[in-house]
Amino acid sequence: MSQQHGSVEPDSTDSSRLLAAESEKNRRLEHALRDLREEVVQLADRVEKLTRPPAPYGIVVGRNADDTCDVFVNGRKLKVSIGGAFDIDQLRLGSEVLLNDHMSIVDVRHGDLAGDVVVLSKVLDDGLRAVVSIRGEEERICALADELRVADLRVGDLLRLDTRSNILLERLAQPELEHLLLEHVPDVSFDDIGGLDAQIEKIRDAIELPYLHADLFAEYQLPAPKGVLLYGPPGCGKTLIAKAVAHSLAERVAAKNGLDKGRSYFINIKGPELLNKFVGETERQIRLVFQRAREKSEEGWPVIIFFDEMDSMFRTRGTGVSSDMESTVVPQLLAELDGANGLKNVIIIGATNREDLIDPAILRPGRLDVKIRIDRPDMTAARQILLRYLNDQLPIDAQHTIAEIADLVATAIFADVDENRYLEVTYQNGDKDVLHFKDFLSGAMIENIVRRAKTKGLKRKLHGELGLLSASDFLTSIREEFQEQEDLPNTTNPDDWAKISGRKGERIVFIRTLINATDSTDATSGGREIERATTGQYL
């Protein structure tokens, strides 16, 4: 019995071992089947995606009362049903939607961010459509998206057009000509301008008085000037005065209205900035400038339209060599100037070096009424300009006061000595004349002389010295500034160069620099005497 019992126990152990092995095998098979099942599902899903028909996108162009939408798809306009779990209020004109193979709307997408940039010309009376300029003079009528129908659109706004559905979808953040408009008051006052007291008084009488005392002008039946022309040599403060006008007007209007701080708008047009190769574009942009000025003036603050380098845009009609652009640009400006009577709080200022090139119709009374010449500074004006750039905060050598340095520099510039001789000019009648640097002095040149002197003191400071500004720094800077001017005169066309530089009168036919000819004083080597030569000798 004991032997039989001993034989049964090994059989039971073997069975348990076999059962455990079969269970492990079944578990592995179960995991394998589960993995295969998941792989089959993934493969089936992948096959389904690969064989799925393409889902088209469309642009909503209309909503219907029967809960359907008109959608523009692949160049066709379709009436489709609405399905899918999404907010139906998201379906707006211009929305991009996803359609299934049954052409039902199943989702609303964010839409394409690309498109053509067009310029708004006019919003039609129905408020649903607008006329836009595509390129050049080509125009098109387009539908407005729902967001744009309630927006405050202005002529000249840049819009994004979906050319597939012909719908205007978005107003771009940067409207046309917005870069010309300085929202903040220029930080330049009349106190920053030296040597132009008489001209500043004239421009204040022409601009500030009519604006601040409109009731008195109406009582005396005195019309306010429509515009002011500032003309004269370059670098003498024309642009600076225009900015100071905006600053001064803002302060005076604020004081008149009892406000702590005022503001004004300054539309700065730099010469040919508006010129465009497409016919009619320059005229259109001029209209936009004045329309923008009207809109800003309605806020009650002054708006200044400043045309810098005015001769580059509004030349006398018929003088164009390779183009007759001025024949249409000038009349456009004249139309705006004549319509400026109805403009409130708008002031037009022009600046030029060549007033003789501007069309006479612009300069006649009733348009740019006031003409103020900004001439080169004399010795007194030069001293005033120097004192604008020198103050008590600068490290000045104690040997001289600021006033003494200003006197020394002004005296050195205007000294009638050989070192200050600049040009010998020959006129058409044969006369010769010697011109000095003082004859071509400008506020910009004086500022550059001061800057050179300050740079010398700064460099000494960098090398461990005191860096105090001395009189010799300024006198040396004068000589360096004069030396740099040696090659600047245009000897190829001397008469045009002379007119730009402010020299009027007899026609100049020849120019010779005299900076290096300081050893002799006779007329043939650049002396100060006036010598008569045979007419045409230098032609």
For 438-456, the pLDDT digits (tens) are: 888 888 899 999 999 999 9
In 3D, which of 419, 416, 415, 390 has the Cα closest to residue 482?
Answer: 419
Res. 250: pLDDT tops 50: yes
Q: For residue range 453-511, list pLDDT tens digits in order.
A: 999 999 999 988 888 999 999 999 999 988 887 656 655 566 666 766 666 667 778 87
End-to-end CA distance of the chain: 150
**What is the number of H-type helices and E-type strands within the chain?**
13, 19
Res. 233: pLDDT tops 70: yes
* pLDDT in the model for residue 516: 56
* pLDDT in the model for residue 473: 92
* pLDDT in the model for residue 522: 42
* pLDDT in the model for residue 484: 82
Categorize the per-residue pLDDT at 523 as very low, low, confident or very high, splitting at 50, 70 and 90.
very low
Domain boundaries, the chain: 1-52, 57-109, 116-176, 180-373, 379-525
Q: Identify the residue with better confidence: 353 or 50.
A: 353
What's the Cα-to-Cα distance from 62 to each of 91, 95, 164, 240, 441, rounded to whole Å?
A: 9, 10, 15, 55, 69
Categorize the per-residue pLDDT at 90 as very low, low, confident or very high, splitting at 50, 70 and 90.
confident
Task: Determine how β-strand 346-352 pairs with β-strand 227-231.
Answer: parallel
CB 189 within 8 A of CB 244: yes
Q: For residue range 109-156, list pLDDT tens digits in order.
A: 776 778 888 888 888 988 888 999 887 668 889 889 888 888 888 877
* pLDDT in the model for residue 58: 83
Torsion of CA 464, 469, 473, 474, to 10 degrees: 160
* pLDDT in the model for residue 520: 41
In 3D, which of 170, 164, 179, 187 has the Cα closest to residue 118?
Answer: 170
Res. 289: pLDDT tops 70: yes
In 3D, which of 347, 258, 231 has the Cα closest to residue 294?
Answer: 347
* pLDDT in the model for residue 512: 79
Q: Identify the residue with better confidence: 494 or 344.
A: 344
E-strand ranges in 188-264 read 227-231
Tokens of 517: 């000819």
DSSP 283-316: HHHHHHHHHHHHHHHTTTS-EEEEEESGGGTSBP
Range scoring the smallest mean pLDDT among 245-249, 263-267, 345-349: 263-267
Q: How far apart are CA 217 and CA 222, in angstroms?
A: 5
Q: Which CATH superfamily is domain 180-373 in?
A: P-loop containing nucleotide triphosphate hydrolases (3.40.50.300)
* pLDDT in the model for residue 2: 46
Res. 513: pLDDT tops 80: no
Q: How far apart are CA 400 and CA 415, in angstroms?
A: 20
DSSP 469: B
What average pLDDT does this structure show over 276-293?
A: 82
Give kind and range of the element (H or E) at residue 108: strand 104-109
Q: What is the pTM of this model?
A: 0.68
Name the region of 366 (left: φ>0; alpha: ψ -120 to 50; beta: rest).
left
Domains 57-109 and 116-176 equal at CATH topology level: yes
* Domain 116-176: CATH architecture, name and number where available: Beta Barrel (2.40)
Longest dimension (CA), the chain: 159
Res. 287: pLDDT tops 80: yes
> Average per-residue pLDDT in the chain?
80
Q: How far apart are CA 55 and CA 71, in angstroms?
A: 14
Tokens of 365: 């009374």
Torsion of CA 289, 294, 298, 304, to 10 degrees: 60
Share of the chain above pLDDT 70, in %: 84
Q: For residue range 21-47, list pLDDT tens digits in order.
A: 888 888 888 888 888 888 888 888 888
Res. 4: pLDDT tops 70: no
* pLDDT in the model for residue 464: 86
Tokens of 223: 């019309």
Range scoring the smallest mean pLDDT among 184-188, 220-224, 474-478: 184-188
Res. 9: pLDDT tops 60: no
DSSP 320: -
Q: How far apart are CA 313 and CA 327, in angstroms?
A: 11
What average pLDDT does this structure show over 275-288?
A: 81
What's the Cα-to-Cα distance from 195 to each of 170, 176, 201, 349, 428, rounded to whole Å?
A: 51, 38, 12, 20, 33
Q: For residue range 392-433, list pLDDT tens digits in order.
A: 888 998 888 999 999 999 999 999 888 888 888 888 888 888
What's the Cα-to-Cα distance from 95 to each of 32, 63, 99, 144, 162, rounded to whole Å?
A: 49, 11, 13, 12, 11
Cα 345 to the center of its chain, rounded Å: 22
* pLDDT in the model for residue 504: 66
Residues β-bridged to residue 158: 119
Tokens of 28: 């592995």
Categorize the per-residue pLDDT at 1 as very low, low, confident or very high, splitting at 50, 70 and 90.
very low
Question: What amino acid occupies position 188?
Answer: V
In 3D, which of 433, 423, 427 has the Cα closest to residue 535?
Answer: 427
Tokens of 294: 């009207």
Range scoring the smallest mean pLDDT among 200-209, 316-325, 420-429: 316-325
Q: Which CATH superfamily is domain 57-109 in?
A: Nucleic acid-binding proteins (2.40.50.140)
